[in-house]
Amino acid sequence: MASSYSTPGVYINEVNAFPNSVVPVATAVPAFIGYTPRADYQGQSFYNKAQKISSFAEFQALFMLDNPPPPADPARQYSPQYYLVPQPSEPAPADALTLNGQCYAVLPDPNTLYYLYNSVQLFYQNGGGDAYIVAVGTYGPASHKPLAAPAAAVVNPNVQLTDLQRGLALLRNEPEPTLYICPEATLLSVADNGTLMQGMLLQAQQMGTAVCVFDVIGGANPDPVLYTQDIQTFRDNTGSNGLSYGVAYYPFIGTTIMQQADIDFTNLFGGDVSRLAALLNPPSAPNPAAAKLLEMIQNPPANPMSNSQLQAALLSASAVYSQIVTQVLACANLLPPSGAMAGVYTVNDNNNGVWQAPANVGIVGAIDLPICLTDDQQANLNIDAVSGESINAIRFFNGQGILVWGARTLDGNSQDWRYISVRRTVIFLEQSIKQAVRSYVFQPNDANTWAAVKSMITSFLTQVWQEGGLQGASPADAFQVDVGLGSTMTADDLLNGYLNVSVKVAVVHPTEFLVISFQQQQAKSG
C-alpha cells in the first residue's frame, strides 16, 4: 500500500486471505530405458532424450515404424528369431516339443530379443498413463544361430551397458519420473546387470524422486531346484547403497501380448523355409498341402499371397506348424514383470492412493508362470537374514489366478523402509512439499513466513490423513510440523538464510502377516 496519496479518490488494496497450497505430485510416472526400432518424428530425433508420452499410440508414433517391413528384417522392427534344436534325450526343457518322435528345444537367437516394446504394451494394458521413454539405440543385427543350450544364459550383445547407463544419466535432469524401469537389463551379463542396478539405486537415492523396479536374471526359465542360485546371484550384485529405493519381482510372466499375427514362418530358422519344410513335410509323414505352400514361399508365383495369407493357410494345412507357432508364441510372450508392475502401481495409486501396497492384485494379460512358488519357497525370497534383500513373488493361486504376492523393498531388514508403500509415500510427501515451499524462497525469514509455511504443510498433511495415507485417530497423532526460531532454527540459521522445517509423519504400513489364533473350548450348557 502506498504511504501517501496525492489525488482524491477511492483506492483498492487486495490482501491474500488464504495461504499457498501444496499440489500433490504424480506418483506413478515410469521412465523406460531401452532400445526401439526408431525414435523420430517429423525429422526430429528422440534418441538419447527423455521423451514424455501419454498413450501407447503416442509411443508407436514416435518409436515404431509407420509401415514396417516384413518380419524377416529384425534390424528394422521387433521380430524375435527362434530355432528348433534337436535334443538327444528326455526329459526335454520346458520350452520344447516333440515332432515326429524327435524332441526339439525352442531356442531364441539372443541377438534378436528385446523387451522394451512389449513391456510398454504391458504397462498400458495394466492401466498405465504418463511415462517417459529413453531410447538409447536401435535394434542390432541377428547372429543367425540359436542359443548355445537350453540352460544357457540369454545375453544379447546388442544390448550394451554403456547405452543403458547413458540413458539413466539423462534422467538426472527429469524430476517427474517416479519409477526407473529397464526391462532389457536382464539381457546383459550378470556383472553388467549388477553394475547397472547399483547405478540406478545410487541415482535414485541421490535424487530422492524415484524407485527402481528390477527383474531377476534367470526368471524366464528357472530350474525347479536350482532357481535359488539365480536369487542369490541377484542379491550379490545389487550392492548395499539405496536399497530402500529398489524393488524386485520374480519370476517372469507368460503373457498374451504377442498374437499369432505377430509370429509367422519368417520368425523361424532365420527365415530359412527349407529347414521348416523338413519338419512340416518329412518323408515319414508327408503333407502335400504344406509342401505346396512352402514352395510358394520359396518361389513366389506371379500373384503371390501375402505373408498373413500364407500364415493362415499353413496353420490350417499343418497341425505340426500350428504346434510350433503355439510354442514359439509362448516363448516370445515370456516377459519380465517390471513393465506390468508399473501399470499396477498406476492403477493402485489412482484408485487407492500411493500409501496402499501394490500387492494382492492381478496382472492383466498374465496367463502363466514359468515356476509356481509355494509358501516355503517364497519365504526365502521374502526374508533373507544375511543381506535383508527381499524379492517379491508373483504367484498362482487356485481360484484366484496370478497375483502379486509381495510388498517389500530390497531393504527388507529395515523397520523404516521395509515396505514399498512406505518408501513411495514418503517420496510423494517430500516432493509435494518441496515443490510447494519453493514459492517462499527469498521471502523474509520471519514469523509471518514461518506461520504460512506451517499452515500450508499442515493443511496438506491433514488432507492426506483424511484420505487414509497417515495413521492416527486425529491429525495430531498422524503428523507434526515444526518451524521457527528456538524450535527448528537458531540465530545463526537466520543470519545464514536457513529456514528449517521439521515434519514427522506416521505412515500407514501394510498388513503383511495376518495371524488368527484358534483355541478349543468346552460347550456351555443353558
To which H or E segment does residue 435 belong?
helix 420-437
How far apart (Å, rounded) are the C-alpha atoms in residues 242 and 34?
22
359 within some domain: yes
Whether residue 402 sits in one domain with residue 300: no
- 321 lies in some domain: yes
Give, in order, the Cα–Cα distances in Å from 328 to each of 17, 32, 321: 66, 26, 10
pLDDT tens-digit map of 268-281: 998 889 899 999 98
pLDDT of residue 71: 47
In a domain, 210, yes or no: yes
Q: Would residue 199 count as lying in a domain? A: yes
C-alpha cell at 45: 530425433
Average pLDDT, the chain: 90
Q: What is the pLDDT of residues 351-362, one digit of tens each?
A: 999 999 999 999
Helix residue ranges per DSSP H, 438-512: 447-466, 475-478, 491-495
Say if residue 93's pLDDT is above 70: no
For residues 204 and 131, state if they share a domain: yes
Closest CA to 34 of 185, 220, 156, 215: 185
- Partners of 211 in the beta sheet? 179
pLDDT digits (tens, 9 = 90+) for 300-341: 888 888 888 888 999 999 999 999 999 999 999 999 999 999
Domain co-membership, 128 together with 270: no
138 and 228, same structural domain? yes
Statement to judge: residues 137 and 195 lie in one domain: yes
CATH code of 166's domain: 3.40.50.11780
Q: Which of 420, 438, 457 is the last residue of a domain?
A: 420
Q: To which H or E segment does residue 191 belong?
A: helix 190-207
Q: Which of 332, 364, 381 is the last residue of a domain?
A: 332
Residue 434 falls inside a structural domain: no
CA angle at residue 476 from 472 to 477, to 5 degrees? 30
pTM higher than the cut 0.85: yes
- The CA dihedral of 140, 252, 71, 129, to the nearest 10 degrees, is -90
With a CB cutoff of 8 Å and minimum separation 6, the contacts of 457 are: 22, 433, 436, 437, 481, 501, 503
pLDDT for the residue numbered 74: 40
Same domain, 171 and 65: yes
497 in a domain, yes or no? yes
89 belongs to a structural domain: no
What gap in Å lies between CA 195 and CA 159, rounded to an integer? 14
**Residue 399 structural domain:** 30-77+114-257+334-420
Residues 138 and 202 grouped into a single domain = yes
Q: How many structural domains are present in the chain?
A: 3
In this structure, the answer to whether residues 219 and 277 fall within a common structural domain is: no
Which of 142-151, 172-181, 195-204, 390-399 is least confident? 142-151
> Looking at residue 432, what is its pLDDT?
94
- In a shared domain, residues 405 and 277: no
Residue 4 pLDDT > 80, yes or no?
A: no
**pLDDT, tens digit, 9 for 90 and up, residues 119-159:** 999 999 999 999 999 999 999 999 999 999 888 899 999 99
Are 211 and 277 part of one and the same domain? no
Q: Are residues 49 and 170 in the same domain?
A: yes
Which of 237, 273, 261, 521 has its CA nearest to residue 391?
A: 237
Q: Are 402 and 461 contained in the same domain? A: no
Contact partners, residue 63, CB within 8 Å, separation at least 6: 36, 37, 38, 39, 46, 117, 133, 135
pLDDT given for residue 90 in this prediction: 65
Give the rounded distance of the alpha carbon of 411 from its chain centre. Answer: 19
The DSSP annotation for 283-352 comes to: TTS--HHHHHHHHHHHS--SSPPPHHHHHHHHHHH-HHHHHHHHHHHHHHTEE-THHHHHHHHHHHHHHT
Q: Give CA angle at 144 (141, 150), nearest 5°.
A: 115
| Amino acid making up residue 15 | V
What cell does 499 get?
A: 529456514
Which of 460, 396, 461 has the alpha carbon at shortest distance from 22? 460
Residue 289 lies in a domain: yes
User: 140-149, 260-269, 513-522: which has the highest mean pLDDT?
Assistant: 140-149
Distance CA 237, CA 476 (A): 43
From 290, 312, 332, the end of a domain falls on: 332
